[in-house]
Structure 1
Amino acid sequence: MCILVFQWQSHPLYPFLLFLNRDEHHNRATEALRLWEDGETVGGRDLVGGGTWLGCTKHGRLAFLTNFRETSSFPDAKSRGDLPLRFLQSRKSPAEFAEEIQEEIALYNGFNLVVADIFSNSMLYITNRPSQGDKLVTQVSPGIHVLSNANLDSPWPKCVRLREGFQQLLSENGTSEFPVKKMVEELMTNTVKDETPELPHVYPPEMEYQLSSIFVDIKTPTGRYGTRSISAISIKSHGEVCFYERHLEDGDSWKEHTQHFVIQNHTI
């Protein structure tokens, strides 16, 4: 489970800005944000499935993923974290990649995937759980979008809170540089929960209640579960990228990691 908010092609200084909370079991082996061995890709890694939930490359490719909240799953399904990884390591356009995976998306449990190429100003939303009448693949429009564990821009209360908080911070900072760490603290550590009538009613009410905050921290019979990392990616109009992560290590120790680079041979 995760939640994220991003703005795309709607700010004069930042063509792209994203904040993302990754929720996971605390005992699941995870690698913090770093530059990968290929010398090009930046992101964290899930050491169980081998994939990632959020990554960016020095050539301006972006991918991020959330799981779809549902009551049943296939134990032998393919790892969803492999999808962002495949896009980041390919040279296909977002449209070409979406076409490539069309015939295999039924092999995955429910997912939401966003892939983008900064060079071509192209961003697509791909899901194998579309709302009735919606397409599997849609172009992401310029503006602010929120994604959790339902379809893109679904009005879950915590998504509405996150959107409103994000809009407020954008308004306060105007066209000046954003204080990313301050914005992370104000937006992504919110623990406000929802009343029962407002919950999505996919899981039992008590579990839904515990998951209804932007920042999640739950004790479960199998161990602690909740927000393992908070990430922020900002891309400026001249291609400068700041990828920041606050990552939970050793149970209760939060560590900060930052990667800076400029998208190669690019003017946005």
Structure 2
Amino acid sequence: MCLIAIAWQQHPDYPLIVIANRDEFFDRPAAPAHWWPDPPGLLAGRDLRGGGTWLGVGRDGRFAALTNYRDPKQNRADARSRGDLVVRAATNDQSAAAFGAQVVAEREDYNPFNLLVSDGDALVAVESVTGQSHTLPPGVHTLSNHLLDTPWPKALAARRGLEAALRTEPDIDTLINILRDDRPAPDAALPDTGVPLAWERMLSSCFIRAPGYGTRCTSIVMRSATGQMRFVEARWHTDGSPDGRTDEQFDIA
């Protein structure tokens, strides 16, 4: 993922609400969200090059998602696929805190990342760059390609949109549309992450359209207070038009 906003224990009916955009090159093959046969009990899309995923949920209600930390100078060709972390986070039986501590110890095996994992009782964020694992307090949190709650323009826009949506019964299309905003931020508000200015501009909006690259899908995860999980993945063509949708609802095991 490249942009995540998450409402943790902020809505009386839905203690976990996640909205997230995956931005990627369009020529990188991926399978739509589905129930994986191996490991079993994982609902997620699949990166067909690295074998892992960017966001997933388990039958037992676990949730995990990952963003890359944008710093081209730190990337190594021999690093393990970061998508494997999400698969492991969403399918293991450790507490979120214990798994977060384990990932901190392994972080040097991967290119820089941020990982979110919830076991239903806690929400944990792991930052490989700082080497820290945080158990997050109730609130609306955002994560893009920097540290947790870094106030990049698109993260702030996602936070405002999600906070507004929490005032009523959350609606799937309303949540998706929060992340369909493709307006770039003004130059004065752009971060400096080591990519050319033209790319900083294109990457500054919630919904990205760039040559050969852009928002491939928008994911919504809602865990209800009564023990149900809903997972929606809306996929997009290169021009931003719809390219199919997965909508799964299930009782948490």
TM-score (norm 1): 0.89
Bigger mean CA deviation after superposition, 249-258 or 97-106: 249-258
In the TM superposition, what are the counterparts of 1:153-168 in structure 2 within 5 Å?
A: 153-168=149-164
8 A Cα contact 1:249 1:255, kept in partner: no
For 1:183, give the aligned amino acid.
L
Aligned partner (choices 75, 80, 88) of residue 90 of structure 2: 88
TM superposition shift of 1:250 = 8.6
Query: Who is 2:46 aligned against?
Result: 45
Match of 1:126 in 2: 126
Matched letter for residue 49 of structure 2: V
Cα distance in structure 1, aligned partners of 2:19 and 2:10: 16
Q: Point out where structure 2 has 5 or more consecutive residues left out of the alignment.
A: none
Q: Aligned residue for 1:258?
A: 247
Give the structure with higher Rg (CA): 1
Q: After TM superposition, give the deviation of residue 258 of structure 1 in Å.
A: 0.7
Query: Which residue number in structure 2 is paired with residue 243 of structure 1?
Result: 231
Q: List aligned pairs for 1:25-104, cutoff 5 A.
A: 25-37=25-37, 38-72=39-73, 73-104=75-106
| Percent of residue pairs bearing the same amino acid type | 34
For structure 1, the residue ranges without an aligned partner over 5 or more in a row are: none
| Alpha-carbon distance in structure 1 between the residues aligned to 2:111 and 2:157 | 27
Q: Which amino acid aligns with 1:139?
A: T
Amino acid at match of 2:243: W
- State the distance in 1 between where 2:16 and 2:62 align: 12
How much does 1:95 deviate? 2.0
Task: Give the Cα separation in 2 of the matches to 1:213 and 1:206.
Answer: 13
Deviations 1:25-59 (A, max 9, x none): 00111011111115411111111111111111111
1:217 equivalenced with 2:209 (yes/no): yes
- 1:140-151 correspondence runs (5 A): 140-151=136-147
Indicate the SS of the match to 1:7. Answer: strand
- Mapped to 1, the partners of 2:238 and 2:206 lie a distance apart of 22
Report how many residues are paired: 249
Counterpart residue type for residue 14 of structure 2: Y
Query: Displacement, 1:238?
Result: 0.5
Q: Is the 8 A contact 2:104 2:126 kept in 1?
A: no
Cα drift, residue 205 of structure 1: 1.0
